[in-house]
Structure 1
Amino acid sequence: MSNMMKAMLGSIDDLLPELEAIYKDLHQHPELSMQEVRTAGIVADYVQKLGFDVTRQVGVTGVVAVLYNGEGPTVMLRADMDALPMTEATGLPYASTERAKDEDGADVGVAHSCGHDMHVTWLMGVARLMAEHRDVWRGTLMAVFQPGEEVARGARSMIDDGMTERFPKPDVILGQHVMVGEAGTVGYRKGTILSAGDSLKVKLFGRGSHGSQPQTSIDPVIMAASTTLRLQTIVSREISPRDTAVLTIGALQAGTKENIIPDDATLKLNMRTFDDDVREYMLGAIRRICCAECTASNAPREPEFTTLSSYPLTINDDATSERLRVAFEAHFGERAYETQPAAASEDFSVFGREWNVPYAFWFVGGTDPIEFRRALAAKKLNEIPSNHSPKFAPVLDPTLRTGLETMICAAGAWLDRPDEAA
C-alpha cells in the first residue's frame, strides 16, 4: 500500500459525512450541459479554500485547480459536471425536481442520471485529502472539473479556451466513471475501454398534402420509415461479425395531424464503434442509404445532415494502465478486475490527445452488492437501471469511499513520496 493511501485512509472516514451532504446537494440541483454555473461555483470555492490556484470559467463553466507541492510529476484528475435533460424517477428523498430550458428552448426535467454528481464529489474529496496530506506526496496535482460531457463539447471548449497553454502540461491524465457493477469494485483495462460515438440529425424532404390525396404528395413519413429500417442493415449486413458496432434511431419526428401529410421528417440517430475504419464506413453508409431512399421516393431535394455530437475512442495507454493495475490490485485485491470495453462514449480522451500525453480511464461499480449478486445469479443484470435510466442511482455506501480510494490510489502511482523521503 502506498504512503499516500496509508496516510489518507483514516481521514476518509471523517470526510465521508461531508461528501455525502455535498453529493446529495449536487444531486438535487443538477444543471444541463454548458450551464453548470452553480456546480462550478461550489467546486471552485471549495478547492480554493484548500489552497489550490483556481481558474474559473475555462471553456464557459469549467474549473481548473492546481496544487503545487514540490518537484515531481504533474497528474491531472478529471470529473465531469453536467446532468441530463430527463426527469428523475428514483424515488430517493434527495431526488431532483429541477426543470430548465434546453438549447432548443424546451422546458425539460433535469437529473444526474449518469453519475456526474458522484464524479464531482469524488474529485472534491480527493482535492481535500491531497491538500491536507502534502507531507506524503510530491509533485503537482491538477483537478479539472469539466462541463458539457453529455454533448461532447466540454473538453473541446476547455482546450479551445487555451487550456494547454494556460496550465502545466500533465505527465498523465486520469479519470473514472461510476457504472453498473458491484459497489466496492474497480474495473480497469489496457487499450480501448470506451467506444467512439457519433450522433446525427437527418432531415428528409417531401411534399405535403391532404391525407385523402396521397397521390399529390411525396410522403416523408414513408421515406423516414423506409430509411429507419434500411439503416439497421448496416450493422446486420455490412459490418463483419468480428467487429462491434451499434446504430440506434432514437427519434423519428414528422407531422402534426393524422390527415395531413407533412413536408418533411427528421431522424435522430446514434452510432457506436470500436474501430476508426468501421466508424468511417458507417458514416458513409448512413449518408448513402439516406440519399438513396430519398431518390427512390422522388424527394425534391437531398437530405440535410447535421452532426449533433462526436466522441473519439477512449484508448488507455498500455504503460499507464499497467501501472494502475499494479496499484489497484495491491490495494483492492480481488475487488480490482480487468473489465471489458463498454459501448459508451466520453470526451475525456480529448485532453490526452490534445496534450499528447498518456491517459487512462476506469470504472467504479455503483450497484448495491446484494442487488448486483442477486441479478447476476438470476442472469438479469440487464434489468438493473443503468446510466441514463431515470431510475439510475448509485448506492452511496461504499461507492463514495471506493471512488475516493481509486483516485488516491491512481494518483499515488505517480505522486507517492518514497519511504526514505517521508
Structure 2
Amino acid sequence: MAYTDRALDIAARVEDFVRSVVIPYESDPRRNAHGPAEELVAELKSKAREAGLMTPHILADGSHLNHAEIALVLRKSGLSPLGPLALNTAAPDEGNMYLLGQVASPEQKARFLEPMIAGDARSAFFMTEPAEDGGAGSDPSMLKTRAVMDGNHWVINGRKAFITGADGAKVGIVMANSGADEKLAATMFLVDLPHPAIRIERVLDTIDSSMPGGHAIIAIDNLRVPADQILGEVHKGFEYAQIRLSPARLTHCMRWLGACTRAQEIASEYACRRHAFGKPLIDHEGVGFPLADNLIDLKQCELIIDWCAAILDTGALGTMESSMAKVAVSEALFRIADRCVQVMGGTGVTHDTVVEQVFREVRAFRIYDGPTEVHKWSLAKKIKRAHKAA
C-alpha cells in the first residue's frame, strides 16, 4: 500500500518516540497484574504531549486519519505495550473516541469526547455481562442489563463483566436493554465516572496486564441517567455497536502487530548473538526457520490489515472483512509470539525482555473483540446465506 505523506511523517515520529522514550519505561516498577499505575500512564502522556504526539490519529481540527493511515500509525505505537497508553491510541479509549466522534451530539462531544482526545480522561465500554447471569458475551442478544424510563431519566440495573479500564475511568458508555416487556432493543448511555450507582465488585486476575484498571466485574444499581445523555438515539445501541466494533477489531490488530514486530526483533537479535553447538542459533534450522515463518506471518498480517482498512475507508461497515482480519491476525500473532518465546528458550519466559508479556497479551487477543470461533461461525453463516441466495 502507498501510504500518504502525512501518515508516513506521523508514523516516523511515533516510532522514534516509542523507541527512544517509551521502551525504557518497560522496566518501570509502577506496574502490576492489573496494568500500569495511573501515575505511570500520566507521566508517559505528559511526554507525548511535549513531543506533540498526543492522540496522533486525531488531527487538530478534530478529524481522523483514515483507516489506512491509522493502520501505519497504530502499528508503530504498538512497538511497546506502553506505547498506546502514552500516545492515547489504546483500547478501549481509541474505539470509544471513534464511536463518540461518529454518533455523539456537539454537547456530548464537548463534555465527554474532548477530555478523552486530550488524554485527560480514560473511558470504559460497559457491554459484556457475567456468564453466571446468563448475560451477553459473544451473543449480544442475551443482554440482561435493563434500562427503564422514569420521567425524563432512564433507570439502569444489571451487572457487567470484563469491563476494561473501569477502575480509574472518567467516561462510561453503558449498553442496556431498553425494550418494552420482553422485546430486545439496546440503547447506549453516557455516564460520568466514578458514579455511586456503578460499583466495581472486583478486578479480575487475567493473563494480560497492559491495560490500566484491568478488567472488572461491575454492579449497576438504580443508575439514573438523564435523557440528554443517551448516545445517539434510543433503541439503536446494536447499530452503533457495529459502527464501533469493526474498526476496533482492526485497531487491536494494528497495535499487536507492532508488538509482535518488536518481539521478532528481540528474538532475531538473540538468535544471531547466542551460540550453541558450535555456531549461532540462527544457523540451526530449528531456530532460523521459525523466525523465517514469523517474517511471512508478519507480512501477511500487515497486508490483511491494510486490505480491511481500505474496505472501511469506502464507508462500508466491513463486518465480514474485519472478522476475517481479526481471525487471521490474532492467530498469526500468537504463532509469532510463541515462536519468539521458543527461540529464546529460558530467557523467553522471563521478564528480562518484553517478549513474555507480548506472548500473554496476544493470547488474550484471540478472545477479546470476539473469539476466533465466533467469527468463523459468523462467516460460515454468511456462506450459507450466499448459497441459499444463489
| Shorter-chain TM band | under 0.3
Q: Which has the larger radius of gyration?
A: 1
RCO greater where, 1 or 2, for CA within 8 Å and sep 6 or more?
1
Output the TM-score relative to the length of structure 1: 0.25
| Higher helix content, 1 or 2 | 2
Output the TM-score relative to the length of structure 2: 0.27
